[in-house]
RNA sequence: CGGGGAGUAGCUCAGCCCGGUAGAGCACCACGUUUGGGACGUGGGGGUCGGAGGUUCAAGUCCUCUCUCCCCGACCA
């Protein structure tokens, strides 16, 4: 719960309001500019997305928060199926010995493992780990499922929870337990695996851009930032409103590393035995944190229409007499019925004892992208006042043509959020040539800098600037990802020869 | 794991220095008047003061120990 100790003075509608200290869910929101971390916590509380759990690092997802995840699931799941991916489910508990099979994998994950040593009243002969990811148990299984080239490609996904013991948890962004999907595929050739990993990256990029409106930078991680056990890791790096990066999804080309560790081979058309090539890819509840940090403002959360728990909030404005009030209520109910039938998530705010203004603020805090006000004057004119959350613009929409008008407005909101995020990121991404420019750039956003590709240099950059190499950025052209053209010159940090530019930024 | 804070009503806090019947604002419940950008009146409910031990006639307050949470850094989807 946020510690709101100040009295916020907010200018609103031309008058100064002094807002008293209040309950977290109803209280003032710390301005983004004065304390970004506190602002983040405040808007989560205001939108009632999570509640505190009894275990540190864990959060309860309240209906609003979980609703966003459900919307993400629906959208991604459709995309996966379109690519021929099938859902399956593998167990939560994994024998500890599995984790140790792939050398880098162990090294990468052992510090974060939760281990079960006792069960059924006895000490276990072999401890079980709570999955931090499922490569090991899946590849132990695929050994039985893959015999012939005809079994490939094998495209699996699972919706699951995983546990990684985190030193410093933050709601959505870094939680001990989190929800995600993890895709795992098996291919006959390294080229097939690479191609699929990139197809998935493109799928994620489209989702992040069109659905979450995050306008991410897309690219490949440098070697030292790869997933433990991968030969290549591809990433989405949207920029948050404080200029920091959030890794919002990854797709890995695992080469034959896991197949080798779990001894998985297939018999080819040539009759010989061949290694199997793998990918894995995931998007987690962390992206919800990204949506909050990318779009929210000082009034609270702003959700892109397709993932908003409530897309349209209808606020009836009572009339002076009972008859007009009843007419307003009827019009609100009718509007809700029509919009719900059209597939929208709609709430009518019928709470008694609250004035319309209080309800306007309420739904703004909760991030509803569109508000419809219906009062006696609107009923007379057969219209509603539509207010878009992200820019506060008011429009009149006809009650007779409400469904197409709302669909149109929600589409406009989506486009504008996406455009706004892209413009923000582009304005705060600077090509830099030397240390001074790099240091300045990462305090505002991303630096596009030549880098010598040495880990030690990256570590020095991080030690001094707190920024990390986010990725080698890609461009989507002619239906495929292309790295930036080589651009030889001195490394922006150490001056040694470099051939490529990377995105450098501070990250969550 | 290092460095800082903080634990008293659902929330934000006061009370502690100087021990003496548990407080405020907001929230919540009821009724009434209101209602186009955060309404008001009247009445009401709500607490083993994070936990354990100690000092004392008496502990929210003093002493000792302990637990938890938050913020800042190193590890991470």
Q: What is the pLDDT of residues A213-243, one digit of tens each?
A: 999 999 999 999 999 999 999 999 999 999 9
Distance CA A22, CA A448 (A): 44
- pLDDT value at residue A105: 84
Q: How far apart are CA A261 and CA A118, in angstroms?
A: 28
Task: Please give the Cα distance from A217 to A246 (Å, whole number).
Answer: 10
Cα–Cα distance list, A412 to A215, A313, A361 (Å): 16, 17, 22
List beta partners, residue A448: A431, A503
pLDDT digits (tens, 9 = 90+) for A385-395: 999 999 999 99
CA-nearest of A200, A199, A158 to A179 is: A158
| DSSP single-letter state for residue A149 | G
Q: What is the mean pLDDT of residues A128-137?
A: 93
pLDDT of residue A111: 82
Q: Where are the beta strands (DSSP E) in A319-382?
A: 346-348, 370-374
pLDDT category of residue A114 using cuts at 50, 70 and 90? confident
Mean pLDDT of A324-349: 97
pLDDT at A25: 61
**Residues A379-431: tens digit of each pLDDT:** 999 999 999 999 999 999 999 999 999 999 999 999 999 999 999 999 999 99
> Distance in angstroms, CA of A50 to C1' of B24?
29
Give CB contacts under 8 A, 24+ apart, made by A53-58. Answer: A55/A176, A56/A169, A56/A176, A57/A165, A57/A166, A57/A169, A57/A175, A57/A176, A57/A177, A58/A169, A58/A175, A58/A176, A58/A177
Q: Is the CB of A290 under 7 A from strand B?
A: no
Whether A35 CB is under 7 Å from strand B = no
Residue of least CA–C1' distance to B40:
A353
Backbone angles phi, psi at A45, to 5 degrees: -65, -45
Q: What percent of chain A has pLDDT over 70?
A: 95
pLDDT of A356 above 50: yes
A413 and A307 in contact (C-beta within 8 Å)?
no
Render pLDDT for A45-82 as a digit per residue (tens, 0 to 9): 889 898 877 777 888 898 999 999 999 999 999 999 99
Determine the distance between A317 (CA) and B74 (C1') in angstroms. 54
Residue range A239-273, pLDDT digits in tens: 999 999 999 999 999 999 999 999 999 999 999 99
CA of A210 to C1' of B59 (A): 62
- Phi and psi at A382, nearest 5°, equal 55, 50
Average pLDDT estimate for A99-121: 85
How many Å from the CA of A161 to C1' of B68? 26
Strands (E), A238-367: 250-255, 265-267, 273-275, 277-284, 312-316, 346-348
Confidence of residue A24 (pLDDT cuts 50, 70, 90): very low
CA distance A23 to A500: 51
pLDDT on residue A41: 86
Distance of CA A280 to the CA centre of its chain: 17
Average pLDDT of the residues in A345-351: 96
Angle at A53 between CA A182 and CA A284, to 5 degrees: 20
pLDDT classification of A122: cutoffs 50, 70, 90: confident
Within 7 Å: CB of A325 and strand B? yes
pLDDT averaged over every residue in chain A: 91
Query: Could you identify the residue whose CA is nearest to the C1' atom of nucleotide B13?
Result: A5
Window 445-464 of chain A: CB closer than 7 A to strand B: 462
pLDDT per residue as tens digits for the range A181-212: 999 999 999 999 999 999 999 999 999 999 99
* For residue A146, pLDDT beyond 50: yes
Decide if pLDDT at A153 tops 60: yes
Predicted interface score ipTM higher than 0.90: no
pLDDT of the residue at A37: 84
Please give the residue that has the higher pLDDT: either A439 or A169.
A439
* Mean pLDDT within A137-161: 97
Q: Any atom of strand B under 7 A from CB of A284? A: yes
pLDDT value, residue A92 = 95
CA atom of A403 to C1′ atom of B20, Å: 69
Q: Tokens at residue A97, please? A: 């010995």
Note the strand B nucleotides within 7 A of protein beta carbons.
1, 10-13, 25-27, 32-40, 68-77
Asked if residue A364 has pLDDT above 80, the reply is yes
Per-residue pLDDT band for A313 (boundaries 50, 70, 90) equals: very high
**Cβ of A88 < 7 Å from strand B?**
no
Name the token pair of A385. Answer: 């006042």
Gap between the Cα atoms of A473 and A487, Å rounded:
13
DSSP lists the bridge partners of residue A294 as: none
């Amino acid at each position: 719960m946020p510690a709101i100790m100040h009295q916020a003075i907010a200018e609103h509608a031309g008058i100064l309001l002094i807002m008293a200290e209040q309950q977290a869910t109803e209280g003032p929101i710390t301005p983004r500019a004065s304390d970004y971390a506190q602002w983040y916590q405040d808007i989560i509380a205001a939108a009632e997305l999570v509640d505190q759990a009894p275990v540190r690092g864990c959060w309860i997802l309240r209906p609003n928060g979980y609703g966003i995840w459900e919307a993400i699931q629906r959208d991604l799941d459709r995309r996966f199926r379109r690519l021929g991916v099938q859902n399956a489910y593998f167990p939560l508990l994994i024998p500890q010995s599995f984790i140790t099979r792939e050398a880098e994998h162990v090294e990468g994950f052992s510090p974060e493992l939760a281990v079960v040593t006792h069960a059924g009243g006895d000490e276990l002969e072999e401890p079980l780990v709570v999955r931090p990811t499922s490569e090991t148990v899946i590849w132990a299984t695929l050994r039985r499922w893959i015999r012939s080239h005809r079994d490939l490609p094998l495209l699996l996904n699972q919706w699951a929870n995983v546990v990684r013991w985190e030193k410093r948890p933050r709601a959505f962004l870094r939680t001990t337990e989190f929800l995600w999907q993890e895709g795992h595929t098996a291919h006959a050739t390294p080229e097939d695996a690479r191609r699929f990993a990139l197809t998935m990256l493109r799928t994620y990029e489209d989702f992040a851009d069109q659905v979450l409106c995050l306008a991410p930078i897309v690219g490949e991680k440098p070697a030292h930032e790869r997933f433990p056990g991968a030969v290549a890791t591809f990433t989405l790096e949207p920029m948050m409103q404080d200029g920091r990066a959030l890794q919002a999804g990854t797709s890995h080309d695992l080469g034959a590393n896991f197949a080798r560790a779990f001894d998985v081979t297939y018999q080819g058309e040539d009759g010989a035995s061949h290694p199997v090539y793998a990918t894995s890819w995931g998007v987690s509840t962390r992206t919800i944190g990204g949506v909050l940090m990318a779009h929210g403002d000082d009034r609270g959360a702003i959700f892109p229409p397709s993932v908003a728990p409530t897309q349209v909030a209808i606020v009836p404005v009572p009339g002076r007499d009972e008859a007009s009030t009843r007419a307003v209520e009827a019009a609100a109910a009718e509007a809700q019925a029509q919009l719900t039938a059209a597939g929208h998530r709609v709430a009518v705010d019928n709470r008694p004892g609250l004035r319309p203004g209080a309800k306007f603020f309420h739904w703004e805090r909760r991030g509803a992208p569109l508000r419809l006000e219906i009062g006696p004057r609107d009923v007379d004119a057969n219209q509603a006042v539509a207010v878009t959350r992200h820019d506060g613009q008011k429009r009149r929409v006809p009650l007779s043509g409400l469904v197409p008008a709302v669909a149109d407005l929600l589409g406009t909101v989506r486009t504008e959020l996406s455009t706004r995020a892209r413009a923000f990121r582009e304005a705060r991404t600077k090509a830099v040539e030397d240390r001074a420019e790099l240091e300045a750039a990462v305090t505002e956003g991303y630096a596009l800098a030549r880098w010598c590709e040495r880990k030690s240099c990256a570590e020095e950059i991080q030690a001094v600037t707190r920024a990390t190499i986010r990725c080698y950025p890609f461009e989507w052209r002619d239906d495929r990802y292309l790295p930036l053209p080589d651009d030889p010159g001195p490394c922006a940090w150490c001056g040694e020869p470099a051939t490529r530019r990377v995105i450098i930024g501070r990250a969550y």
